[in-house]
A and B are shown apart, each in its own frame.
Chain A
C-alpha cells in the first residue's frame, strides 16, 4: 500500500468532491424551494418567522422547558418516541445513531483527506482510517440492524403493513441499499496498513466500484434527495420540535 487510496476507495478524490458539490447544490436548491413553499413564496419570510418562534412563549399553562432540554431530550434522545413505543425507539435510535455517527466520522476523515491533499499537517491517513474502522463497523451494524427491524416491522405487523406506502418503502430500501453497498465496499477493500483482505476477499476493482457506487448514491440519495422526499422529515421534524418547544 505505497500509494494512499483515499478513504472512500475512489482513485480520484476529485470525483468524490465533484459529486459532493453537485449533491450539496441540489440539496440547497431543494431547501430553498421548500422554504419558499413554507413561507408563502418567500424563503426569508419563513426564516424570520422560524427564528422568531424558537423562543416564543406558549399560551396556556403548558410548562415551557429550556432550549437545551428540547435539543437534548426531544431531538437527540427522542423521548417522544420512547414514550409511545420503546420498540420503535430502539429501531429509530439504531438508525439515527448509526446514520449520524457514520456521517460525522466521514466528515472528520474527509477533513483529514483535504488537509492531506493541500499539505497541511504531518499525519498518516492510513493510521487515521484504521483508527476509525472499529467505530464505523459498530455504527454500520447498528444502522443495518435498525433497517432490518424497520423492514420486518413493515412486513410483519399488520397495521404497519397496511399503512405503508411506496413513499415509505423508498426511504427504507434506499437506505438499505446504501448500507449494503457500504459493507460490500468495505468487504472488498484491503486493510490500509497490513494489506490483508477483509471478509469478501481481494478484489481491488470491485472495491473501487462499490466504493464509488456507495459514495455517489449516498451523496445523491441522502443529501441531494432529502428536500424532495420523505427524508425531509429528518430536518423538518427537529425544526418543528425546536419551534414548538418539545416536551412530553
Chain B
C-alpha cells in the first residue's frame, strides 16, 4: 500500500482533490463556524438510528469535511500542493453524509446558527459530481423525473386519473391546487380528500393536470440538481404554467411540494412566483377561526397528536395552522408529543433516506411512534404524504416488535394507533367520502371514526 501511495502522482497546484464550486461561500464558511459543542448530537435522528455511532454525528461530519478542506486548501496545500486524500475514506465519508434525512434539527439547535440543510445539500451535490454519491436507489430520481416528470414511472396522461367524478375542477379561477406526484399517483386518498374538501368549502380551484410536473424535491434533497438541470426546468415549467393560468394562490397539501414552491422555486428562478403559496392547513385554520366550517361527524373522545413535517415546519416555519385545525376536530383531544415544532423529531423519510436507506428510515419512524405511544395517542396526524407513509411503516414495525407483549393490541387490534393525514381526517369529519376512484362502488375503506 505504501508503494502504491508513492506511485500516485501529486495533484498539481490549482487542481484540488475536492472541488467546492457548488458550495456557496457562506456554506463553506459554516464548516469553520462549528464550535463542536455537540448539541446536535443530542437531537439527530440519524445518529439515534445508528445507535450513537459517532461517525454519523452531524458535528463529526462537519469536522471531517473541514479537515478535507484544510488538507486541500490550507496553508500546507498552498505551499506544497493539495494532499492526495484516500479515496476509500472519501467514499466512506460520502456514504455517511447521505445517512441524513436533512431534517434540519441540527440547525435549530446549533449554537453557531449554521444552516445545515442547505449546506448539506450543496455538499451532497459536490460529492455526487465527484462520483461519491448519491446513495442507493436515489440515483434513479433524475432519470425518472427527467423522463416521466414523476418518480413513479407513470405517464403524464395519467395525471388526471385520480380525480373522481364527483370532484369539480374549475376551468379558470384565482386558486390552483398543486397535487404533486404522491397524492396524484401513489397516495390518491390525499388528492381526493383535498379536492373534495375544497369543493365542499366552495373554494373553486383549477388543476394543471398533464401540465403539472414533479416538483423535483427528491433530486434537490439528494444532491443531484445538476443532472440535466431538472429542478430548474421543472420549476420554470410549473411556475410558468401556473402564472399563465392567472392564479393568485397555489394550494398545496404536500409538505414536500410546499417546501419546493416556497424555498426552491424562488432560488431556481431567481425571483418569486407571481402567486401566493398556501398550504391547505392555512386555509382550513382561517375558515375554522371565521366559524365557516361545519362538522358533520365526530370522533369518540380520542387522543390525537401532530407530527410537524420537517419541510412544512422547520424549513418553512408553518407550525400553528395544522394545530389549529386538529385542535378543532370534534371528539378529539389534542395532546402534544415530546419534540415538536422547531425541535421536532423527523419521521426519517426525507433527504432520500426512505428510498436510499429504508432500514434507517424505519428505525427513525419507530422512535416517532414511541413518542406518540408515550402520550397514549390514538391518532398520529401530519400534513405530508411521506411522513404518513413512513410513520405508518414505523407503526407496523413497532407493533411487530411489541405485538406479542402489548395486551391492548393482542386482545384488540383495533387499538392500534392510526396514522393519518390531516386532510383525510378533515374530509371524514365533514362527512365527505374518502374513497379513491379505483374503489368506487366498494365499501368505504378508510374509517377512522370507528
Contacts and interface: CB of A to CB of B under 8 A. Distances in A.
Interface in B123-158: none
Q: Which of A33, A50, A63 has the most CB of B within 10 A?
A: A33
A59 B263 contact: yes
A33 B59 contact: no
Interface string B18-53: 011101111011101111111101000000000000
B25 A46 contact: yes
B316 A237 contact: no
A45 B25 contact: yes
Secondary structure dominating the interface of A: helix
A233 B33 contact: yes
Given A163-B54, A236-B29, A59 B266 contact: yes
B269 to A, nearest CB: 12
B69 A37 contact: yes
Contacts of A39: 25, 28
Contacts of B318: 61
Interface residues of A, number: 46
A106 interface: no
A236 B111 contact: no
A63 B25 CA distance: 24
Contacts of A168: 36
A53 B30 CA distance: 13
B73 interface: yes
Contacts of A21: none
Contact of B38 (A33, A38, A160): A160
B111 A84 contact: yes
Contacts of A186: none
Nearest to B14: A41
Contacts of B60: 163
B75 A228 contact: yes
A60 B317 contact: yes
Contacts of B30: 236, 240
Interface stretch (A73-81, A108-116, A118-126): A73-81
B32 A232 contact: yes
Chain A CB count within 10 A is highest, among B19, B39, B59, B60, for: B39
19 contacts: A30-B75, A33-B73, A37-B20, A38-B25, A38-B26, A38-B32, A45-B25, A50-B29, A59-B262, A61-B317, A61-B318, A63-B317, A78-B111, A159-B41, A233-B112, A237-B112, A243-B26, A244-B114, A244-B115
Interface of A: 29-30, 33-34, 36-40, 45-46, 49-50, 53, 59-63, 74, 78, 80-81, 84-85, 88, 159-160, 162-163, 165, 167-168, 228, 230, 232-233, 236-237, 239-241, 243-244, 246-247
Given A60-B316, A61-B262, A240-B30, 5 more contacts: A46-B25, A50-B29, A165-B63, A233-B33, A237-B35
Interface of B: 19-21, 23-26, 28-30, 32-39, 41, 54, 57, 59-60, 63, 69, 73-75, 78, 109-115, 262-263, 266-267, 315-318
